[in-house]
Amino acid sequence: MQEDRSLIRARSLARRYTMGKEAVMALNGVDLDIQRGEFVALVGPSGSGKSTLLNLIGGLDRPSSGEIWVEDLELGQASDKRLVRYRRDRIGFIFQSFNLLPTRSAVENVEVPLMLAGQNRKARRERALDLLGRVGLGKRAGHKPSELSGGEMQRVAIARSLANSPALLLADEPTGNLDSKTGKDILNMLGELLRTQGLTMVLVTHDMNVASHADRVVHLLDGKIQRIETAAERNGYRAETATAEAIR
Amino acid sequence: MTLGDMISTALSNLGRRKVRTILTSIGVIVGILTIVTMVSLGIGVRIEINKQFAQIGLERVFVSPREGERNFFTQFAAPERTNPILPEDVERWRQLPNVREVVADVDLPLGVASALKIGAQTQQIAISGEDSVLGQTPFSTPPTALAGTIDVPDESGKIVLTAGALEDLDINPDQFAGLVGQPVEIVLQAPRGETQTFSFTVVGVSSEEIPTARVPLADRAAMKGWWFNRPDILATDGYDSVTIRATTIAAANELVPQIRNEGFRVQSLELILDLADQVFTVINVMLSSVGGLALLVASLGIVNTMIMSIYERTREIGTLKAIGASRGDIRLMFMIEAGMIGLMGGVIGIISGWGLGLLLNRVILWYIEREQLPVRGDFFVVTPTLALVSLLFATLIGVIAGLYPANRAARLDPLVALRHE
Ligand SMILES: Nc1ncnc2c1ncn2[C@@H]1O[C@H](COP(=O)(O)OP(=O)(O)O)[C@@H](O)[C@H]1O
Ligand SMILES: [Mg+2]
């Protein structure tokens, strides 16, 4: 019965920020279901609430009203302790600015989530090296972040996000700080990982080229879902625009 | 997160800003150094004093008679004794179990004008008996015999003179040996003008500098009897002091209340030592407070450094929290970091305090050597307890100083922290 249900279920999800007297509705009644194994892109103009939605799914923030379920856990009501464990064991975060620990080598950065989970040194070193190998950085394990390129740093961050074998990857503009060529490589790698590992991923971007890799694209505007496109619809749409452009 | 990981994380974070870490721990170093040096001095001196007292013999009990108050007008008169120590008391104590030896003594009053007469020459001189253990001050070397014997015989009419007394009479050390067996006279002069001459035979010369004539108890009693005009003074006024040597220290401690109950004034070295211990404790606490003040300042430095380093690492803290570090993890991590600063300062402080003690000890010994004082020994002693307690204390200071910054770090909102530039 559980299996039929979606992995993520957002119901009338709202998040209000108050800045002094003014209140900003960063999210304003979002209903969204995301299935296991799905790759969903959140798109929309700056300030439309993409990051806010992602942070709510990731348990980094709590809704002002509404519910956000991930499997059998309602994140809004969960205790701080449960949220910490949820973030550590079930989520992999990938940030725009990589957020690697600057004094730690690549392999040590990948080890951090395993260390937080209390795994012993030997086991976590083995796992971290394996993960670095999988993102193609086996030879760079001992390098500090400052000795790596942007693309390499993001690969380390991806390896780190996978360390505790999460079910769900959350990425906020993961290619935002990379050139388009490197960004494409990173996206291809993520897509490969999703397919082979059966992971679910929610990715925030404002780049339609990036979103085009996703199964579904959720368009946000002013804290509301404007429309949701499936890959099939979008391909048609893309074909149309391509023809239109070709005619012009 | 395991404790081992916490500690290695803290160490690597401290290693990032080595200079700052070291500068911060200097406050702790100074504080601990002060405390360790001061307390080790206290311990060292106490051990030294204990040793000296033990040489004198802690199993000795000193008894003196109870007497009425003396004032300026009565100080030259015979003391009004409410409970004199009579020869029969001494005899009774001798019979007690656990008593090894009882030595009774008579002192001449301070005002007695006494002179030593050898041939035609006369010299002011102090009269005393065998050097009593009480008169033997700690940190002094026992005198040696320059001629004859310096043990005052029990037999009356014998006298031991000190080198100091003879030097004042212009008698050279090479003449000392010839003096043994010779007759000398001691002349007492009462304030009323009368004089009385006592004849003695020299039995030896001691190395002491202070001009003194040592005469047997019977002669001193006779002198005192003449002075106060009480021929049988022992039977009426009794002895001035009695030293009872018990078989053990425990036995001595039992004798104290027992004899006190008989109405005498009783002291034991043990009691004096207890008092000295209390004084030393007070002095130690006072001196350590100086170090404590340094530690207080040091802890403020640690608070400052921790707040600064948490500010610098805000983004990292945000990242750690986002990927699954709990408040407790973050709090403990920073408290360990602060504790490490304390621990490090403690280790260096103890080592340098110990080193400073060694250095100062050398200086003191060199001074003692130069002044030819009869003392040797270590005046700075760092005991394992002192080292351990200082170490714990230093660490505790760090941990306490880390409490507030660590809590601030733990409470950081991950999203706010991640946005921090
Ligand atoms: N911590 C905050 N305090 C106040 N306003 C915020 C905060 N976070 C986001 N907002 C506001 O909420 C809206 C949505 O923000 P965000 O989700 O970051 O947008 P996006 O990621 O789509 O650019 C914006 O108007 C933003 O200014
Ligand atoms: Mg955003």
Partner A contacted by B327 (CB < 8 A):
yes
Token readout for B63 is: 């008894």
Task: Report whether pLDDT(B369) > 70.
Answer: yes
Best CA proximity match to B341, nearest among B280, B286, B405: B405
pLDDT digits (tens, 9 = 90+) for B125-134: 888 877 654 4
pLDDT digits (tens, 9 = 90+) for B23-65: 999 999 999 999 999 889 888 888 888 787 777 777 888 888 8
pLDDT over 90 percentage in chain A: 84
Cβ–Cβ below 8 Å for B324 and A103 = no
Residue A84 CA to ligand 2 center (angstroms) comes to: 22
Token readout for B286 is: 């006072």
Q: State the pTM of this model.
A: 0.74
Are A186 and A173 in contact, with CB atoms under 8 Å apart? Answer: no
pLDDT over 90 percentage in chain B: 32
A55 ligand 1 Cβ < 6 A: no
Q: What is the mean pLDDT of residues B92-96?
A: 88
Taking the CA of residue A27 as reference, the ligand 1 atom at the shortest distance is 14
Q: How far apart are CA A242 and CA B361, in angstroms?
A: 93
Predicted local distance difference test score (pLDDT) of residue B161: 87
| Strand, helix or coil for residue B230 | coil
Partner A contacted by B6 (CB < 8 A):
no
Band of residue B382 on the pLDDT scale cut at 50, 70, 90: very high
Taking the CA of residue A53 as reference, the ligand 1 atom at the shortest distance is 17
Q: What is the mean pLDDT of residues B97-125?
A: 83
Partner B contacted by A103 (CB < 8 A):
yes
Partner A contacted by B50 (CB < 8 A):
no
Predicted local distance difference test score (pLDDT) of residue B280: 80
**A201: how many CB neighbours lie within 10 A of its CB?**
25
pLDDT digits (tens, 9 = 90+) for A44-96: 999 999 999 999 999 999 999 999 999 999 999 999 999 999 999 999 999 99
Predicted local distance difference test score (pLDDT) of residue B286: 84
**Residue A10: strand pairing partners:** A32, A68
The distance of A246 to chain B (nearest Cα, Å) reads 43
CA atoms within 13 A on the CB side of A162: 25
A164 ligand 1 Cβ < 6 A: no
Token readout for B50 is: 């204990």
pLDDT digits (tens, 9 = 90+) for B191-222: 777 888 888 988 888 888 888 888 888 888 88
Task: Report whether pLDDT(A215) > 70.
Answer: yes
Predicted local distance difference test score (pLDDT) of residue A246: 57
Pairing of strands A91-94, A168-172: parallel
Q: How far apart are CA B275 and CA B142, in angstroms?
A: 26
- Higher confidence at residue B66 or residue B316? B316
Pairing of strands A65-70, A8-19: antiparallel
Average pLDDT, chain B: 86
Cβ–Cβ below 8 Å for B320 and A102 = no
Q: What is the ipTM of this complex?
A: 0.92
Task: Report whether pLDDT(B87) > 90.
Answer: no
Band of residue B141 on the pLDDT scale cut at 50, 70, 90: low
Band of residue A107 on the pLDDT scale cut at 50, 70, 90: very high
Task: Report whether pLDDT(B264) > 60.
Answer: yes
Residue type at A75 in one-letter notation: L
Q: What is the mean pLDDT of residues B234-249?
A: 84
Taking the CA of residue A42 as reference, the ligand 1 atom at the shortest distance is 22
Task: Report whether pLDDT(B106) > 90.
Answer: no
Band of residue B70 on the pLDDT scale cut at 50, 70, 90: low
H or E element in which residue A93 lies: strand A91-94
Cβ-nearest to B415 among A61, A80, A160: A61
Band of residue A2 on the pLDDT scale cut at 50, 70, 90: very low
Predicted local distance difference test score (pLDDT) of residue A62: 96
